[in-house]
Amino acid sequence: MTTAILSALPQEQAGLAVQLQDLEVVRYAARDFHVGRWHGRPVLFALSRIGKVAAATTAAALIERFGARRIVFTGLAGGLHPDVKVGDTVIGSEFLQHDMDASPLFPRYEVPLYGRARFAADLELTALLLAAARSLGAADMIDPATCRRFGLAAPRIHHGLLISGDRFVTRADEAQQLRSALPDALAVEMEAAAVAQVCHDHGVPFAAVRNISDRADEQAHVDFPAYLEEVAGVQARALIGTLLPLLPP
Ligand code: ADE
């Protein structure tokens, strides 16, 4: 069964695609898809670029053109919940588009004609992602020197709601509004809920993991690029490298 690992940006899966055997790079829909085998299993690595449309386009291509039968998103997010700190890992249980608003025709956040605002992560795939993360421990994914440089104290693993929208949240008052409206949201990013919707349409299992690069506040535009360059790839290599061998063939 072909597994796809999807991220928005190259740094979020740096050093993974080069580990594929029989690697072939296929250009499709203005994107490069890395197709190969990971210890014998068919695996694809793909980059969506940023935002919900780009992510949905890439997810549809993974499924329709490349035959992906499970998709795992790995990348960064801004922490929203007070317990979710920079360096922590959030594994999605549900996904919601926080900028979806067709009210008063449909309730706020509901995706019109789906009868729902939230799309659930695949339970089995998510259980394996949680097992991989817990077997590593959030702290073990990052070396001690990087932890010190980024001021990361005892990173933790969380499981809960991830929210997506076409906005990089960089104001504390906007983050506060999101927290008030969606108190169970753990973190905010720009792609996972779109991929969850595409996977729902195709009946393809989906799971997502996000490492927390910033707190979605005025510091986010500084914290995010630094984390992206120095930490994102280290965490992705550790977690995805641990997850792939756990997946059923
Ligand atoms: N991804 C990482 N940080 C983010 C933020 N603050 N807003 C949206 N997406 C993000």
| Architecture of the domain spanning 75-246 | 3-Layer(aba) Sandwich (3.40)
Whole-angstrom distance, CA of residue 200 vs CA of residue 160? 18
Phi, psi for residue 180 in degrees, rounded to 5: -70, -40
* pLDDT for residue 159: 98
For ligand 1, atom 1, name the residue with the nearest CA.
77
Tokens of 18: 């080069």
* pLDDT for residue 101: 98
Whole-angstrom distance, CA of residue 21 vs CA of residue 7? 20
Mutate to test the pocket of ligand 1, among 73, 190, 211 (most ligand atoms within 8 A of CB): 190
Of 9-13, 134-138, 217-221, 239-243, the one with minimum mean pLDDT is: 134-138
pLDDT digits (tens, 9 = 90+) for 141-181: 788 888 888 888 788 999 999 999 999 999 999 999 999 99
Domain boundaries in the chain? 75-246
Ligand 1 and 175: CB distance under 6 A: no
Widest Cα–Cα separation across the chain: 52
Instruction: Classify residue 73 by burial, with Cβ atoms within 10 Å: 0-12, 13-18, 19+.
Output: buried
Please report which helix (H) or strand (E) contains residue 11, including its range: none
For ligand 1, atom 6, name the residue with the nearest CA.
216
Percent with pLDDT over 70 in the chain: 99
Average pLDDT over residues 114-134: 97
Mutate to test the pocket of ligand 1, among 169, 170, 178, 182 (most ligand atoms within 8 A of CB): 169
Does residue 133 register a pLDDT over 90?
A: yes
Distances (CA, A) of 110 to 87, 114, 192: 31, 8, 16
Cβ contact 219:86 at 8 Å: no
Average pLDDT over residues 135-142: 79
pLDDT digits (tens, 9 = 90+) for 65-118: 999 999 999 999 999 999 999 999 999 999 999 999 999 999 999 999 999 999
Mean pLDDT, the chain, whole residue set: 96
* pLDDT for residue 19: 96
Share in percent of the chain as helix, strand, coil (round to 5): 35, 30, 35
* Ligand 1 centroid from CA 216, angstroms: 6
Q: Of 152, 170, 172, which is closest to residue 212 (Cα–Cα)? A: 152
* Ligand 1 centroid from CA 85, angstroms: 13
* Ligand 1 centroid from CA 190, angstroms: 7
Tokens of 132: 């991989």
Ligand 1 and 213: CB distance under 6 A: yes
Ligand 1 and 188: CB distance under 6 A: yes
Query: Closest ligand 1 atom, CA of 216?
Result: 6
The Cβ-side half-sphere exposure at 57, using a 13 Å CA radius, reads: 15
